[in-house]
Amino acid sequence: MKWLLDQIYGANAMGDPYYEFFVDASALIPWWYPTLVFGIAALMVTARWHARTQYRRKAALAAVRVRKRTLRRIS
Residues 4 and 30: their CA atoms lie apart, in Å, by 16
Can you give the residue ranges of every domain in the chain?
Answer: 1-30, 31-75
Contact 1, 21 (CB under 8 A): no
Three-class SS state of 13: coil
9 contact partners, CB below 8 Å, separation of at least 6: 16, 18, 19
Confidence of residue 75 (pLDDT cuts 50, 70, 90): low
Residue 19 neighbours by CB distance under 10 Å: 18
Give yes or no for residue 62 having a pLDDT over 90.
no
With CA atoms as reference, report the closest residue to 19 among 4, 40, 36.
Answer: 4
pLDDT by residue (tens digit) across 27-56? 888 888 888 999 999 999 999 998 888 878
What is the pLDDT at residue 71?
67
Enter the pTM of the model.
0.41
